[in-house]
Structure 1
Amino acid sequence: MQEKTYIGSDILVKELLAEKVEYIFGYPGGAIMPVYDALYRYSDHIHHILTRHEQGAIHAAQGYARVSGKVGVCVSTSGPGATNLITGLADALIDSTPIVCITGQVPSNLLGTDAFQEIDVIDISLPVTKWNAQITRVCDITYIIRKAFYIARSGRPGPVLIDITKDAQLQKDIFQKTICQEVSNFHPYPQVHENNIKTAAALINSAKKPLALVGQGVTLANAEEEFKAFVEKADIPVASTLLGLDVMDSVHPLFVGMLGMHGSYAPNILTNQCDVLIAVGMRFDDRVTGDVNRYARQAKVIHLEIEACEIGKNIFSHVPVLGDCKESLPLLTEKIRKAAHKGWLAHFRIMQRKEEKIIQEDLNPEKDDLTMGEVIKWINQYKDKDAVLVTDVGQHQMIASRYFNFSSRKSQITSGGLGTMGFSLPAAIGAQFGARDRQIICLVGDGGLQMTLQEFGTILQDQLPIKIVLLNNNILGMVHQWQDLFFEKRYSSTELLNPDFMQLAKAYDMQGRKITRREDLQKALKEMFELKKACLLEVVVKKQYNVFPMIPSGAAVDEVRLA
């Protein structure tokens, strides 16, 4: 009997179904229209979310991937549709987010002719993808799509882009169910070497002042429990990178705060006093280390990392432990002795008191102006325990990272390495699809919101119950802070004349409320979280406001400023 044939677009969608894809975020156009026609035919199996911009689609795919642990998928047409994905690809690459982007392309006979909406997206996206490929023949669809998903999710996750010509979408072929279980010259899970585990354990057992640094790699490996067991057995204080904040409960007695430029005072200062530094699933980026020549020079560094190129890239590792920390952490825990470091932990508590004035001014201000910190304080009071916080980029992001209670896994989504303004609103949309039963809180500034606010339309169309908290200070706060501290108060192009956000909310059939007085804040937040539909709560906060602690650019971590 002759095997049934399908056109390429149907084969592509059937491959997505084989990968158990439930949601696709995208925006249609000419070169991808056959795929959209196939999505219409398979609409009972795959839900397509029509965003209002391709950048919104890819950020939504990121938010979905980050909260669900699955591969996010987005689709766009060729030309400007494809180029609008580049920011999201770069963001996903540097933050290790598994996504597969599928872009339409002009027919293969028109490649290289500067045809309408033709762009060489393969060369453009090469630096910001983990892998990319172009499909010009229908017979290649099955293997390349399977390979794309395998590469995106395996090892250190990342974005993959697949460009498919229009004729490949329309050609016919049989559909063959195949599974991609390996790719030549791609070894995503390196072997953990026993000798390195033994050496690391010996160092930890002899340490008097150990410090563990935790990053998002622990979350990506689903190794939160293994990390917790390790630090609790060794009684090691834990400091977190920005993206690692939801690895441990914020109130855990071993958790001592966030690292880096706007991190907590104690872990930054004591990084340069510890004797053994254990880095797990983090990459020592410049926002964490400050001046690398003055970073933890006194310490022996143990680095648990899945990607070989990250070990020793920025900070020398005395004991590299290459491998998946889901595997390496239990091996290390088995070989360390149960320890107690009460005196060393007490030192952190003493140092933390130096921040008390800042914390009180942020959370319990005595002056009339509302602060970002007190908004976060009351969000903690009324949010669900397993709520997901999606933040944009800027001062509100740093304040939230300091004060939000991250009490469950995969509860933080933010743009870390790239710092993409406009990220939070579309990422919150993706997160809501990735965690239908969880409360999604989108925290955004007035600058970032106006970069992607067209995605209010996506919230309207899909009736998503996202809670949007807009902290409005009518300026680009973080740039304004740097101008205040380092550019002699020359405030160049940071003042914002903003629209009436309440009218915008009304235009999108979204309940909105604007808060300018402290006495109205608690009630408004409580009512917002009780709503079963989307809500925009605009809180007018203090305009002239700087986020401290702060490590100036180029300074050492122990040169952290409190004012």
Structure 2
Amino acid sequence: MSDSPQTTTSDLIVDRLRTWGVERVYGYAGDGNNPLLGALRRAGGSPEFISARHEEGAAFMAVGEAKYGERVGVVSSTQGPGAVHLLNGLYDAKLDHAPVVALVAQQHRSALGSGHQQELDLQHLFADVSSPFIQFVAAPEQLPMVLDRAFRSALANSQPSVVILPHDVQQAPAPDLGQSHGEVVTSPRWTTGEVIPRGEDLDAAAEVIAAGEKIGILAGRGVRHAQEELIALAERLGAGVTMSLLGKPYVDESHPLVAGTMGHLGTTASAHVLQECDTLLIIGSDDPWTEFYPVPGTARAIQLDVDPAMIGNRYPVEVGLVGHAAPGIRALLERLPERGDTPWRREVEEQIRIWHEISRLRSEVPARPLNPELVARGLSARVPEDAQLAVDVGSAVYHYVRQMSLPTSVPAHVSSTLASMGCAVPYAVAAKEVAPDRPMVVLAGDGAMEMLGINELITVAERWRGWGNPRFVLLVLHNRDLAEVSWEQRESEAEPRFDASQEVPRFDFAAYAEQLGLHGMRLHDAAALDRVLDEAFTVERPVVIEVLTDPDVPLLPPFPHGRQMLESMRQGLAAEGEAGKHGLQLLNHYAEIEEQRR
């Protein structure tokens, strides 16, 4: 008689994950998912289980797996509080369209409805975040069908799927599925095709474009596999190209027609393109900053998106093109003549040149102790072409957008639409697991680090020795202020900074890194910036650079929008009395730079 353990439903789950090509499961242990974790142990590391320090961090890691690896990220948690902690990461996946499958434990089926410890109504809890697919597994026979549908839904909808696994179902013997009534046998397969817009829609779009003189393009995440086609379209039309935050990594910002990221945190050149164009092409973007689009009625619009539900979602469009970006642009190019040199093209190129000068001058404004824009600019110059970048939410995103122009070979990700602080270090862990031989660069503020980053830095300390390339440079902008919210208070409310809510407690990030066995560095002198950054990229272990920066460096929106906000910002700073004088001086200096070069 064999002594080998009986194959359980959990073993079946692990085998199906492996068939779907899953290499890693991120998560945190609990009694609810113990059977699944036992099956992962028995599988001998295929897939590998990577333990985060918090379920929220694990969920962000699964999102990072999806974003950097362009594959399904998988996360597991126990029931109750473990399940609740997943929500932030799963909403990040939902809003940024990243495929994630969450395997969430639940109490025994026989206990449900009794108000048992950690018993929550998980189907209601996850109903919104995983609306395309959420399934409670009531019997072992539902697997692997439920897993197959969960993966296909995540891939087809680019959103999270949730599979709820009662403890006793995980423990049950693996079913022997056949053709009995009620048994559904499926296959772990998914594929897609190339969607091309209809010919009559392309003809209509070409007519609108032909009638326009000032063409602007707003490119989103949907252009990630259409980078060459996008630039070819811009060249053909002499069009100015702006990007959503999600689109920024996929557009070559060294090109003379690329005006940079749009929106509140964007560039003055992008604002000019969007406000002055008479024809707008929206390609693979659903950017919510509608006040930065052209004034409705001033620009005729065309939108190309693979999802028909997105057409006209943010701006009134005249022609909708349903299709993938690359074949859609190629089909459109066949209908568009070469425009050559035009006054609009020269105007766009001049505005971009002006923006580059503004960006440089802003970084050189003296601050105390360091200007974070100068720091981000210095970091950008040192990011290797084969690196990966993670950016946390807060003022760091402004500095990334305005001072970091990276080659498209560098995948860069941030929690964009949800804009959740604490995402960067978990993202970076997943990025290194996806591509352990590539250098990793992380830009984060002290608020985001104290929220979640320092916890998952423990995970970095546990994992880094297994990476083929140990280079992992984390730059922390340490200003002891939730700077983005402080500036939003001044800008939107004409209110002074509220110290009790905005002050970030002192934390020694460099010393903490050393305590974890990493390399800690501290920078407070602009004269040492180049030396410290150069050294950081030579260290053969993860590096944490704690940079003391000035919280009073303004997060001024791009002009002309920024000009409209100046008075309220000045009122907020004036209300701060002596404490606001330095910020007021910097704000006026920044405004002067903008005005003198327009």
| Same-fold status (TM-score > 0.5) | yes
Using the alignment, how far apart are the partners of 1:364 and 1:38 within structure 2? Answer: 56
Partner of 1:238 in structure 2?
241
**Cα separation, partners in 2 of 1:400 and 1:144, compared to 1, 3 Å:** same
Partner of 1:544 in structure 2?
552
Using the alignment, how far apart are the partners of 2:129 and 2:243 within structure 1? Answer: 26
Partner of 1:247 in structure 2?
250
Partner of 1:215 in structure 2?
220
Alignment check: 8 A CA contact 2:134 2:161 kept: yes
Using the alignment, how far apart are the partners of 1:112 and 1:269 within structure 2? Answer: 59
Partner of 1:533 in structure 2?
541
Q: 3-state DSSP class of the match of 1:470?
A: strand
Q: 3-state DSSP class of the match of 1:243?
A: coil
Using the alignment, how far apart are the partners of 2:13 and 2:149 within structure 1? Answer: 13
Residue 395 in structure 1 maps to residue 390 in structure 2: no
Alignment of 1:174-323 (within 5 A): 174=176, 178-179=186-187, 192-219=197-224, 222-285=225-288, 287=289, 289-290=290-291, 295-323=295-323
TM-score (norm 2): 0.86
Partner of 1:480 in structure 2?
486
Q: Deviations over 1:74-105 (max 9, x none)?
A: 11111111110011111111111111111111
Alignment check: 8 A CA contact 2:25 2:74 kept: yes
AA of the residue aligned to 1:446: D
Percent identity among equivalent residues?
26
Bigger mean CA deviation after superposition, 461-470 or 515-524: 461-470
Using the alignment, how far apart are the partners of 1:77 and 1:436 within structure 2? Answer: 28
Partner of 2:510 in structure 1?
502
TM-fit CA distance, 1:345? 2.2
**Cα separation, partners in 2 of 1:43 and 1:547, compared to 1, 3 Å:** same
Q: 3-state DSSP class of the match of 2:408?
A: coil
Residue 444 in structure 1 maps to residue 423 in structure 2: no
Alignment check: 8 A CA contact 1:261 1:290 kept: no
Partner of 1:75 in structure 2?
76
Q: Deviations over 1:24-82 (max 9, x none)?
A: 11111111111000000112321111100000001011112111111111111111111
**Cα separation, partners in 2 of 1:560 and 1:278, compared to 1, 3 Å:** farther
AA of the residue aligned to 1:472: H
AA of the residue aligned to 2:539: L
Bigger mean CA deviation after superposition, 195-204 or 65-74: 195-204
Partner of 1:40 in structure 2?
41
Q: 3-state DSSP class of the match of 2:437?
A: coil
Using the alignment, how far apart are the partners of 2:442 and 2:69 within structure 1? Answer: 17
Q: 3-state DSSP class of the match of 2:229?
A: helix
Residue 515 in structure 1 maps to residue 518 in structure 2: no
Bigger mean CA deviation after superposition, 121-130 or 324-333: 324-333
Q: Which has the larger radius of gyration?
A: 2
**Cα separation, partners in 2 of 1:267 and 1:502, compared to 1, 3 Å:** closer
Using the alignment, how far apart are the partners of 2:114 and 2:201 within structure 1? Answer: 55
TM-fit CA distance, 1:191? 6.4
Bigger mean CA deviation after superposition, 321-330 or 473-482: 321-330
Using the alignment, how far apart are the partners of 2:166 and 2:97 within structure 1? Answer: 28
Q: Deviations over 1:192-240 (max 9, x none)?
A: 3221111112222333111111001222xx2323333333333322110
AA of the residue aligned to 2:121: D
Using the alignment, how far apart are the partners of 1:548 and 1:357 within structure 2? Answer: 16
Aligned residues: 548
Alignment check: 8 A CA contact 2:296 2:315 kept: no
Alignment check: 8 A CA contact 1:5 1:175 kept: no
Bigger mean CA deviation after superposition, 392-401 or 404-413: 404-413
Q: 3-state DSSP class of the match of 1:378?
A: helix
Partner of 1:416 in structure 2?
416
Using the alignment, how far apart are the partners of 1:357 and 1:369 within structure 2? Answer: 23
TM-score (norm 1): 0.91
TM-fit CA distance, 1:462? 0.8
Q: 3-state DSSP class of the match of 2:218?
A: strand
Q: 3-state DSSP class of the match of 1:382?
A: coil
Using the alignment, how far apart are the partners of 1:416 and 1:358 within structure 2? Answer: 25
Using the alignment, how far apart are the partners of 2:400 and 2:229 within structure 1? Answer: 26
Using the alignment, how far apart are the partners of 2:273 and 2:329 within structure 1? Answer: 24
Alignment of 1:453-472 (within 5 A): 453-463=454-464, 465=470, 466-472=472-478
Using the alignment, how far apart are the partners of 1:535 and 1:416 within structure 2? Answer: 25
Partner of 2:147 in structure 1?
145
**Cα RMSD between the aligned structures?**
2.5
Using the alignment, how far apart are the partners of 2:200 and 2:38 within structure 1? Answer: 56
Using the alignment, how far apart are the partners of 1:526 and 1:357 within structure 2? Answer: 25
Alignment check: 8 A CA contact 2:474 2:543 kept: yes
AA of the residue aligned to 2:201: N
**Cα separation, partners in 2 of 1:237 and 1:354, compared to 1, 3 Å:** closer
TM-fit CA distance, 1:165? 1.1
AA of the residue aligned to 1:311: I
AA of the residue aligned to 2:270: P
AA of the residue aligned to 2:509: F
AA of the residue aligned to 1:205: A
Using the alignment, how far apart are the partners of 1:401 and 1:556 within structure 2? Answer: 17
Q: Deviations over 1:438-496 (max 9, x none)?
A: 22111100000011121111111112632110001110001111223344452212122
AA of the residue aligned to 2:485: V
Using the alignment, how far apart are the partners of 2:461 and 2:477 within structure 1? Answer: 21
- Structure 2: any 5+ residue segments left out of the alignment? 179-184, 567-589, 592-598
Using the alignment, how far apart are the partners of 1:434 and 1:401 within structure 2? Answer: 25
Bigger mean CA deviation after superposition, 80-89 or 157-166: 157-166
Partner of 2:9 in structure 1?
8
Alignment check: 8 A CA contact 1:386 1:408 kept: no
Using the alignment, how far apart are the partners of 2:292 and 2:433 within structure 1? Answer: 40
Q: 3-state DSSP class of the match of 2:537?
A: helix
Alignment of 1:84-103 (within 5 A): 84-103=85-104
**Cα separation, partners in 2 of 1:351 and 1:473, compared to 1, 3 Å:** same
Alignment check: 8 A CA contact 2:271 2:292 kept: no
Q: Deviations over 1:374-423 (max 9, x none)?
A: 11222122221132221111111111111212202461110111110111
Using the alignment, how far apart are the partners of 1:535 and 1:251 within structure 2? Answer: 29
Alignment check: 8 A CA contact 2:385 2:409 kept: no
TM-fit CA distance, 1:178? 4.0
Partner of 1:325 in structure 2?
325
Alignment check: 8 A CA contact 1:197 1:321 kept: yes
Using the alignment, how far apart are the partners of 1:558 and 1:179 within structure 2? Answer: 58
Partner of 2:27 in structure 1?
26
Using the alignment, how far apart are the partners of 1:387 and 1:471 within structure 2? Answer: 20
TM-fit CA distance, 1:107? 1.4
**Cα separation, partners in 2 of 1:115 and 1:252, compared to 1, 3 Å:** same
**Cα separation, partners in 2 of 1:353 and 1:409, compared to 1, 3 Å:** closer
